[in-house]
Amino acid sequence: MNDVQTIGILGGGQLGRMLSVAASRLGLRCHIYEPGAAPAGDVAHAVTNASYEDEAALRAFAESVDVITYEFENVPTSALDLLESIRPIRPNRRALAVSQDRLTEKTFLNEIGLATAPFADVPTEGDLGGAIDRIGRPSILKTRRMGYDGKGQVRVGDGPAEWTGAPSVLEGFVDFSAEISVIVARGADGQVAAFDPGLNVHREGILRTTTVPCGLAGAVTTDAVLIAARIVSALDYIGVMGVELFVTPRGLIVNEIAPRVHNSGHWTQAGCAVDQFEQHIRAVAGLPLGDGKRYADVVMENLIGDDLGRVPDLLRAPNTQVHLYGKGAPRPGRKMGHVNRITG
């Protein structure tokens, strides 16, 4: 049926875990490469626990798989160079390069005709004052690389501006009424399929819930899907991507893209016959994409930190699907699992 039998996954967290489960349903094996703790290893065929500087381990890993994908963006370039010399990496290196750096990402989005928040490059602390003069206050200073779930971000208000400690981008505030996200997939044959946009709610920089349907006008959701399709086509992308957008009086503004399965797409596990994880496996393995049509209304809620104590009650709740990630002790801000509630 297909030449791909074993998929290598860079990263061993919850996304790698759920990708491995999805692959197993299609009769495929996953090999995890993770320098640290690897919850994905509990359900994968094989695990390599080694650093991204270990060339021998990287080479052995690559030679044991047919194709390589990743569950997070910040894989060192040197490791990717070695891996790509042995096996194909999907999504491609351009998608990684664009998404790893906020300045590169926003520049790319503007170049393909998509709107973003106004932004300015802030390579050093000495450049911050000039950037504030151009972008204004209030604004948000974000590190160009490595920031996620609100990390590496500083709000610039009326007082003295705090420095992030690393090359950054200053983003102007956006007057938005809602944040939505589109989970979109593109196959090796160029086929594009998108799931329904979800409505996202964040607290303290961390996604708390995603609701589908999002409750917005059809014209807005259609535009969101078209924007996501434009991005994956421009990148010659293979795999699933998460695209976050702000709904504003002037139209949709792209907040950020993630070249992987995405937290805001977990609802697809309860709402679609083929969820985002299987869709990604299909794409990177060269299989036909599945039907992303939604057959249920769903609210996805992240279980963060001490939310883990609610699990016994959640397990008793009707129409509720519980996903736990097999991590260690809970701590504030740590994603321990999620639940999908079917609401209609």
pLDDT-above-70 percentage for the chain: 98
- Judge whether 92 is annotated as a binding position: no
Number of domains in the chain: 3
Residues 254 and 222 in one domain: yes
Q: Is 110 within the bounds of a domain?
A: no
Output the pLDDT for position 1.
52
- Judge whether 142 is annotated as a binding position: yes
Q: Is 104 within the bounds of a domain?
A: no
- Judge whether 262 is annotated as a binding position: no
* Tens digits of residue pLDDT in 192-228: 999 999 999 999 889 999 999 999 999 999 999 999 9
- Judge whether 12 is annotated as a binding position: no
pLDDT confidence tier of residue 159, bands split at 50, 70 and 90: confident
Final residue in a domain of this structure, among 147, 172, 197: 172
- Judge whether 158 is annotated as a binding position: no
* Tens digits of residue pLDDT in 36-72: 999 999 999 999 999 999 999 999 999 999 999 999 9
Residues 233 and 312 in one domain: yes
Residue range(s) defining the domain that contains residue 276: 178-342
- Judge whether 293 is annotated as a binding position: no
- Burial pattern 31-54, b for ≥16 Cβ within 10 A else e, equals bbbbbeebbbbebbbebbebebeb
Strand-pair category, 29-33 with 46-48? parallel
pLDDT confidence tier of residue 149, bands split at 50, 70 and 90: low
Strand-pair category, 153-156 with 139-143? antiparallel
Give the C-alpha distances (Å, rounded to integers) separating 323 from 17, 39, 280, 320, 335: 11, 13, 19, 10, 11
pTM: 0.95
Output the pLDDT for position 158.
80
- Judge whether 292 is annotated as a binding position: no
- Judge whether 321 is annotated as a binding position: no
Residues 185 and 315 in one domain: yes
Output the pLDDT for position 148.
63
Q: Say how far apart CA 275 and CA 273 lie, in whole Å.
A: 6
Residues 190 and 128 in one domain: no
User: Can you state the percent helix, strand and coil of the chain, rounding each to 5?
Assistant: 30, 30, 40
Q: Is 100 within the bounds of a domain?
A: no
What is the rounded average pLDDT of the residues 159-177? Answer: 91
Q: Is 109 within the bounds of a domain?
A: no
Domain CATH code at residue 76 = 3.40.50.20
- Judge whether 49 is annotated as a binding position: no
Residues 261 and 187 in one domain: yes
- Judge whether 106 is annotated as a binding position: no
Q: Is 98 within the bounds of a domain?
A: no
Q: Do 239 and 186 form a contact (C-beta atoms < 8 A)? A: yes
Final residue in a domain of this structure, among 172, 190, 205: 172
Residues 226 and 194 in one domain: yes
Residues 310 and 196 in one domain: yes
Domain CATH code at residue 189 = 3.30.470.20
- Judge whether 102 is annotated as a binding position: yes
Residues 295 and 320 in one domain: yes
Task: Give CA 79 to chain center in angstroms.
Answer: 20
* Tens digits of residue pLDDT in 261-310: 999 999 999 999 999 999 999 999 999 999 889 999 999 999 999 999 99
Domain CATH code at residue 125 = 3.30.1490.20
pLDDT-above-90 percentage for the chain: 92
- Judge whether 153 is annotated as a binding position: yes
Q: Is 96 within the bounds of a domain?
A: no
- Judge whether 280 is annotated as a binding position: no
Residues 186 and 246 in one domain: yes
Q: Do 303 and 339 form a contact (C-beta atoms < 8 A)? A: yes
Phi and psi torsions of 219, nearest 5°: -65, -35
